[in-house]
Amino acid sequence: MADYKSIIAYDGTDFQGFQRQKAGVRTVQSVLEDGLRAVGWEERSLQAAGRTDAGVHAKGQVIAYELPWKHSAVKLTQALNANLPADVSVVSSESVEADFHPRFSAKSRRYRYTLIVAPVRDPLRARYSWRIWPRPNIEAMQTAAGLLIGEHDFAAFGTAPIPGGQTLRTVTRADWKRTKDELCFEIEANAFLYHMVRRLVGALIEVGTGRKAIEEVSVFLDRPSVRWEGSLAPAQGLCLEAVDYSGSNKDLEDRSPGL
Amino acid sequence: MADYKSIIAYDGTDFQGFQRQKAGVRTVQSVLEDGLRAVGWEERSLQAAGRTDAGVHAKGQVIAYELPWKHSAVKLTQALNANLPADVSVVSSESVEADFHPRFSAKSRRYRYTLIVAPVRDPLRARYSWRIWPRPNIEAMQTAAGLLIGEHDFAAFGTAPIPGGQTLRTVTRADWKRTKDELCFEIEANAFLYHMVRRLVGALIEVGTGRKAIEEVSVFLDRPSVRWEGSLAPAQGLCLEAVDYSGSNKDLEDRSPGL
């Protein structure tokens, strides 16, 4: 029996989110647990770094589990992939210490939100992005994003995972990047509140379209008693890119094998 | 009544190819014709630049039709998009001379085939690519691609659209480009035979994996009586990028509105 960690990728479109629900509801966790059972897993529940919402994608979700596996970690990845549907896959696996926990051991998480700035729909990118038009003011959005950096109480922009739980989070990166008509928001923090990235993207777009002033974002930071009025950015633009365990997890930085 | 040309994009996954078939079969043409009818179109059949196979995508398919439309071409694009499903869209529209024909007026077509070179599946890219592993020899594939340039009889690699039709085609570009673990084949020709791009990609991959020698590609070029033995590259990696009408169609080169 050993403890393993696997990096998981999925297309969230056809899942009712990550977390297992009642029988018959298709979630990433239930599909992964079925795959694990097929290779001899006998625990009741796997551990995961984060619970993504329905429709949210992942390139770097992390799970941990105990398994009586006698072969290499590479063979474990292959065996699991043979027992998973096309919209979820194991990127890599490795054995870890018994005290490793994908959520509690994580030092930071990185999410990416993808927008397409275009007057018409693009069927080839709609599955993984949110289209907006007309063009927003990206400089204003970047200035507002800069206000998020540091330790703040993000209660106005999300909900603690535990009722009444801590809503202080430390954002270490919040950047807009554009390439042609694509506009990506990359945000990294020690941890996130529920809906925090989608609500922040919604807020920054309101700043970019002039419906809200830049200053309003800072007014709502560190005011736990009020809620930012505004809609969530749609789920399909969001992707959990990576979870960092500082040193124990170097492969998350560049998992591309290159050529 | 005026004649219009529209550039069309679609995700080919859920279509049984472009060309209309019997009632009940979902094709791009039938969905476009339903959309056109909703804005007043009364012809029997629209004209298109090319008939893509089931599962093949397009960013730059071109159609032409006659329509009693009283508003601007921009409004026509909007009205059509409001009457099309999420997996097909009109990128732009313009009025054209009555003698314009999307197939016969075309000077060249450009296709792109996307490969992912990786040991494990990627659910976020599987819809638009073909994954291969181990790494192929890209230099050999580029050398073999160079042999395709110029006018050749491609009968060994495809079928004429009309039985007994001409199989000479002039390839003006055939390049492999790689970015991280992505490998793209871009090919441009005056016109293509049925299955020609997918069969050529299949052949070049056989060269890259050492199953065939580079010289074998040139042996099969200009030998109309034999067939290249080998499988087609899967449909989902292929995309019709653009159709060029030399001068009448500048927007095809860069349709991205930028920011």
Q: Which residues of A touch B122 (CB under 8 A)?
A: 9, 89
Query: At residue A215, what are phi and psi to the nearest 5 degrees?
Result: -60, -30
With a cut of 90, say whether residue A255 has pLDDT above it: no
pLDDT score at A196: 96
Q: Which residues of B touch A259 (CB under 8 A)?
A: 117, 135, 138, 178, 180-181, 183
pLDDT score at B179: 95
With a cut of 60, say whether residue A251 has pLDDT above it: no
Residue of B nearest to A87 (CA): B123
**Quick check: A9 and B257 CB within 8 A?**
no
Residue range A161-189: mean pLDDT, rounded: 95
| Diameter over CA atoms, chain B | 59
**Quick check: B257 and A86 CB within 8 A?**
no
Contacts of A161 (CB under 8 A, 6+ apart): A51, A193, A194
Residue of A nearest to B117 (CA): A259
Query: Could you give the percent of chain A with pLDDT greater than 70?
Result: 95
**Quick check: B124 and A180 CB within 8 A?**
no
pLDDT score at A1: 74
SS3 of residue B136 by DSSP: coil
- The whole-angstrom distance between residue A40's C-alpha and the CA centroid of its chain comes to 28
pLDDT score at B240: 98
User: What pTM value is reported for the model?
Assistant: 0.91
pLDDT score at B93: 98
Q: Is the dihedral of CA A63, A64, A65, A68 positive or negative?
A: positive
d(CA A122, CA A211) in angstroms, rounded, equals: 26
Chain A interface with B: residues with Cβ < 8 Å: 9-11, 57, 59, 77-78, 81, 86-92, 117-124, 126-128, 135, 138, 178, 180-181, 183, 239, 256-259
Burial grade of B136 (CB within 10 A; 0-12, 13-18, 19 or more): buried
Interface test with A, best of B6, B87, B124 (most A CBs within 10 A): B124
**Quick check: A123 and B9 CB within 8 A?**
yes
Residue range A228-241: mean pLDDT, rounded: 94
Of A89, A122, A123, which has the smallest distance from its Cβ to B121's Cβ? A89
**Quick check: B239 and A124 CB within 8 A?**
yes
Of A53, A99, A175, A251, which one is the catalytic site residue? A53
Residues A44-82 pLDDT 10s = 999 999 999 999 999 999 999 999 999 999 999 999 999
pLDDT score at A247: 53
- Report whether B187 contacts B173 (CB < 8 A): yes
Q: Quote helix, strand, coil % in chain B, to nearest 5.
A: 25, 30, 45
**Quick check: B119 and A59 CB within 8 A?**
no
**Quick check: A86 and B183 CB within 8 A?**
no
Chain B interface with A: residues with Cβ < 8 Å: 9-11, 57, 59, 77-78, 81, 86-92, 117-124, 126-128, 135, 138, 178, 180-181, 183, 239, 256-259
d(CA B182, CA B202) in angstroms, rounded, equals: 16
Element (H, E) at A219: helix A214-220
User: One digit per residue, pLDDT tens: chain B, 259 residues?
Assistant: 789 999 999 999 999 999 999 999 999 999 999 999 999 999 999 999 999 999 999 999 999 999 999 999 999 999 999 999 999 999 999 999 999 999 999 999 999 999 999 999 999 999 999 999 999 999 999 999 999 999 999 999 999 988 889 999 999 999 999 999 999 999 999 999 999 999 999 999 999 999 999 999 988 887 877 888 888 999 999 999 999 998 544 444 444 444 4
pLDDT score at B247: 53
Residues A178-200 pLDDT 10s = 999 999 999 999 999 999 999 99
Query: What are the distances in angstroms from CA B141 to CA A4, A30, B152?
Result: 39, 42, 18
Confidence of residue A230 (pLDDT cuts 50, 70, 90): confident
Q: Which residues of A touch B55 (CB under 8 A)?
A: none
Of A10, A122, A181, which has the smallest distance from its Cβ to B123's Cβ? A10
**Quick check: A124 and B120 CB within 8 A?**
no
